[in-house]
Structure 1
Amino acid sequence: MVTAVAACNGPPADPSGPFEGPEKLLELWFQPASLPSSTASLRSVDRDRWQTILNTVSCTILSVLRSDECDAYLLSESSMFVFDHKLILKTCGTTTLLLGLEHILHLAHGILGGGSSIVNGDDASLQSSSAAAPHARLGARLVDRIFYSRKSFMFPDRQKGPHRDWMLEVALLDDFFSDGAAYTVGKMNGDHWLLYMASQAGSSSSSSNNSSPLASSSSASHAQQQLPPSIAQHLHSDNNEDQTLEILMTHLHPSATRAFYYPPLDEQAAAAAQEEDAEKKLQPNGTHPATISATNTFQQATLKGGAASPDEPLEDDEDADPGSLHQHPNGSVGHAVNGAPEQAEQDKGHSLGALTSSSIGLAALFTGAPHQIDAFAFEPCGYSANALISASSPSAKVKHTSGYWTVHVTPEPECSYASFETNVRFLAGSAADAAGTAGTADQAATPHNLTSLIKRVIGIFQPGKMSITLFLSSASATEDSAAVPDRADTHALINGNGPTKPAAAAATAETNAMALDALVLKGYRRTDRILYEFEGYDLTFVTFERVGLVRPSKR
Structure 2
Amino acid sequence: MATDYFFEGAEKLLEIWFGRQDGKNENGDLRKIPREKYEDLLKAACCEVISYTSNDEIDAYVLSESSMFVTKRRFILKTCGTTTPIECIKPLLLNVHEFTGFDEVEDVFYSRKNFERPELQKDTHRNFKLEIESLNIIFKGTGVARFMRSSKTNDSWYLYALHPVECFGKEKQNPDQTLEILMTNLDPHVMQIFTKDQSANASQATQDSGISELLPNMKIDDFLFEPCGYSMNGIAKEGHYMTIHITPQQEFSYVSFETNVPQSSYKELILKVLKTFQPEKCVLTMFTNEISPSKSNHKEFKYLTHLGEWQQDSNRTCSLKNHDLTVSFYSKYPS
Q: Is TM-score (shorter-chain normalized) higher than 0.5?
A: yes
Partner AA of 1:514 in structure 2? K
State which of 233, 252, 257 in structure 2 corresponds to 1:420.
Answer: 257
| Aligned-pair CA distance for 1:96 | 0.8
Q: Is the 8 A contact 2:167 2:322 kept in 1?
A: no
Partner AA of 1:197 in structure 2? A
| Aligned-pair CA distance for 1:406 | 0.4
Partner AA of 2:106 in structure 1? D
Tell me the secondary structure at the aligned position of residue 7 of structure 2: coil
- Can you list the C-alpha shifts for 1:278-322, whole angstroms capped at 9, x where unaligned? xxxxxxxxxxxxxxxxxxxxxxxxxxxxxxxxxxxxxxxxxxxxx
State which of 153, 163, 171 in structure 1 corresponds to 2:133.
Answer: 171
Partner AA of 2:81 in structure 1? G
Instruction: Report the Cα distance in structure 2 between the residues aligned to 1:33 and 1:194, rounded to whole angstroms.
Output: 30
Q: Which residue of 2 aligns with 1:180?
A: 143
- What are the equivalent positions in structure 2 for 1:135-534 lying under 5 Å apart? 142-177=104-139, 178-187=141-150, 190-198=154-162, 227-231=164-168, 233=169, 236-237=170-171, 240-264=174-198, 352-367=201-216, 370-390=217-237, 403-427=240-264, 449-473=265-289, 475-476=290-291, 508-510=294-296, 512-519=297-304, 520-534=306-320
Instruction: Report the Cα distance in structure 2 between the residues aligned to 1:190 and 1:237, rounded to whole angstroms.
Output: 41
Q: Which residue of 2 aligns with 1:222?
A: none
| Aligned-pair CA distance for 1:16 | 5.4
Uncovered stretches (5+) of structure 2, i.e. residues with no partner: none
| Aligned-pair CA distance for 1:84 | 1.4
Larger radius of gyration between Structure 1 and Structure 2: 1
- What are the equivalent positions in structure 2 for 1:29-68 lying under 5 Å apart? 29-32=17-20, 36=24, 39-68=27-56
Instruction: Report the Cα distance in structure 1 between the residues aligned to 2:203 and 2:172, rounded to whole angstroms.
Output: 36
Instruction: Report the Cα distance in structure 1 between the residues aligned to 2:327 and 2:26, rounded to whole angstroms.
Output: 39
Specify which structure has the higher proportion of strand: 2
Partner AA of 1:230 in structure 2? C
Tell me the secondary structure at the aligned position of residue 262 of structure 1: coil
Q: Percent same amino acid among aligned pairs?
A: 36
| Aligned-pair CA distance for 1:80 | 0.3
Structure 1 residues 230 and 541, CA, compared in 2 at 3 Å: closer, same or farther?
closer
Uncovered stretches (5+) of structure 1, i.e. residues with no partner: 1-14, 115-140, 200-226, 266-350, 392-401, 428-448, 477-504, 550-555
Tell me the secondary structure at the aligned position of residue 203 of structure 2: helix
Q: Which residue of 2 aligns with 1:497?
A: none
Partner AA of 1:365 in structure 2? L
Instruction: Report the Cα distance in structure 2 between the residues aligned to 1:239 and 1:387, rounded to whole angstroms.
Output: 24
Structure 1 residues 52 and 241, CA, compared in 2 at 3 Å: closer, same or farther?
same
| Aligned-pair CA distance for 1:454 | 0.2
Instruction: Report the Cα distance in structure 2 between the residues aligned to 1:229 and 1:49, rounded to whole angstroms.
Output: 31
Instruction: Report the Cα distance in structure 1 between the residues aligned to 2:259 and 2:229, rounded to whole angstroms.
Output: 20
| Aligned-pair CA distance for 1:33 | 7.8
Q: Which residue of 1 aligns with 2:61?
A: 73
Structure 1 residues 530 and 38, CA, compared in 2 at 3 Å: closer, same or farther?
closer
Q: Is the 8 A contact 2:33 2:96 kept in 1?
A: no
| Aligned-pair CA distance for 1:538 | 1.7
- Structure 1 segments, 4+ long, off by >6 Å, are none
Instruction: Report the Cα distance in structure 2 between the residues aligned to 1:174 and 1:528, rounded to whole angstroms.
Output: 29
Q: Is the 8 A contact 1:403 1:424 kept in 2?
A: yes
Instruction: Report the Cα distance in structure 2 between the residues aligned to 1:48 and 1:406, rounded to whole angstroms.
Output: 23
Instruction: Report the Cα distance in structure 2 between the residues aligned to 1:528 and 1:176, rounded to whole angstroms.
Output: 32
Instruction: Report the Cα distance in structure 2 between the residues aligned to 1:85 and 1:16, rounded to whole angstroms.
Output: 42
Task: Tell me the TM-score normalized by structure 1.
Answer: 0.56
| Aligned-pair CA distance for 1:535 | 5.5
Instruction: Report the Cα distance in structure 1 between the residues aligned to 2:25 and 2:160, rounded to whole angstroms.
Output: 33
Structure 1 residues 535 and 108, CA, compared in 2 at 3 Å: closer, same or farther?
closer
Q: Is the 8 A contact 1:450 1:515 kept in 2?
A: no
Instruction: Report the Cα distance in structure 2 between the residues aligned to 1:230 and 1:515, rounded to whole angstroms.
Output: 26
Instruction: Report the Cα distance in structure 2 between the residues aligned to 1:408 and 1:362, rounded to whole angstroms.
Output: 11
Tell me the secondary structure at the aligned position of residue 251 of structure 1: strand
Specify which structure has the higher proportion of helix: 1
Structure 1 residues 535 and 172, CA, compared in 2 at 3 Å: closer, same or farther?
closer
Say how many residue pairs are matched.
330
| Aligned-pair CA distance for 1:17 | 2.4
| Aligned-pair CA distance for 1:60 | 0.9
Task: Tell me the TM-score normalized by structure 2.
Answer: 0.91
- Can you list the C-alpha shifts for 1:171-227, whole angstroms capped at 9, x where unaligned? 11101223110111124982111000016xxxxxxxxxxxxxxxxxxxxxxxxxxx1
